[in-house]
Amino acid sequence: MENCSGVTYAKGFTAAGVAAGIKKNGGLDLALIKCDVVAKAAGIFTRNIVKGHSLLLSQKHLEDGRAQAVIINAGNANACLSARGDRDAAKMAELAAKKLGCLPCDVLTGSTGVIGIPLPLDRVKTGIDMATLTREGGHDAARAIMTTDTVPKQAHESVLIDGIEVRIGGMAKGSGMIHPDMATMISVVTTDANISLQALQTALKTAADKSYNRISVDGDTSVCDKVLLLSSGFAQNNEIAKGTAGYALFLDALTSVCVRLAKMLASDGEGATKLLMIDVRGARTPQDAHLIASAIAKSPLCKTAAFGNDANWGRLLTAAGYSGAVFDPEKVNIFIGDVQVCKNGGGLPFDEDAALRTLKQSEVSYTLDFMDGSASDIMWTCDFSVDYVKINANYRT
């Protein structure tokens, strides 16, 4: 088990990542994950009304709360292709099912990459045929779903429930078009917990709201975004139900895995040089806190100031002001790291050198205390560099 990582950390799962020739620049581009049994399964999908065909098929196949395999290709979104896209997604599921010995309806499909170009099914088939799924294959699977990502993203955690070890592991991809309610990200999480389907679905939604829906790179969301959670039940613990002590332990561990993956996504934003944490405190309502954190996280002015190591706190307060939240501007205190740069909504002399040292770190926190209530929220984002423009200006070419 020592070499098992990510989606193969939990008992009952194998995976593979292969180079099928789908990506224009080569490399691993097709991931397969299989559970040894038909697993309980849940999913969360983009709220964008434009949805990729592979995503739509996953939604359909998850209606019964079960799945046995996942197949994801990178380099092609299989999106905005009308009936052909639907047929290609179904064919991909059929090919994977034949290879893995399961039913096509128990295969969840995913695609990420360029929109509007037909999926090269011949290459998908070649990749499926060459795949060998193993317990050590989680790392290759995580690499195979990358697009503009620079590093694979995996996390895992174990927790004792009723004295029995329960394992949770996952992988994710995403670097641009990242914003709450899903983004250009795909994540697959697996567990060997014996858990009711209702508890599994609720836990995933709760964990996603605290993780994947609390990150932003550029304020955009895409058409292929999903989080999938599969449970093999191989831990053989007493079934976890909502409202039990076991559920609370499982939810904490699941949330921990998802938060770590989400932070990896934010820190690996296209062209990013640092991870930014927007920590909003003392807001009147949870909605106000979230509106403020979200506005700052997607503000180009705030993000470019971070890239330039500029302690320009006025941009943070300005973004809060147009967020739609209600607050008293003359109560706000702002900190960059431990350096207070604004008090009661106004500037004050602060140590510029200390602020500069803080801003040069790989992780930087902006704390805004509105001194107006008890609500709080956190979002993770990254800075905007010149490389973000270069990457997205040349994405298709």
Q: Which residues are catalytic?
A: 184
CA dist 151 and 171 (Å) reads: 11
Question: Residue 242 corresponds to which tokens in the numbers above?
Answer: 């909502």
- Length of the chain measured in residues: 397
Which candidate, 104, 355, 159, 379, places its Cα nearest to that of 269? Answer: 379
Continuous segment of H or E residues that includes residue 379: strand 375-382
CA dist 74 and 68 (Å) reads: 21
β-partners of residue 41 are 230
Radius of gyration of the chain (CA): 22
Going from the C-alpha of 116 to that of each of 15, 40, 113, 125, 250, the distances in angstroms are: 28, 32, 10, 20, 40
What is the sign, positive or negative, of the torsion defined by CA atoms of 124, 118, 174, 395? positive
What lies within 8 Å, CB to CB, of 193 at 6+ separation is 161, 166, 167, 168, 231, 233, 235, 237, 240, 250
Question: Residue 267 corresponds to which tokens in the numbers above?
Answer: 């820190």
Do 383 and 280 form a contact (C-beta atoms < 8 A)?
no
Q: Residue type at 90?
A: A
Do 23 and 31 form a contact (C-beta atoms < 8 A)?
no
Which candidate, 332, 360, 357, places its Cα nearest to that of 346? Answer: 332
Do 142 and 18 form a contact (C-beta atoms < 8 A)?
no
CA dist 249 and 255 (Å) reads: 10
Going from the C-alpha of 249 to that of each of 211, 221, 230, 311, 396, the distances in angstroms are: 17, 31, 17, 40, 44
Q: Residue type at 245?
A: A
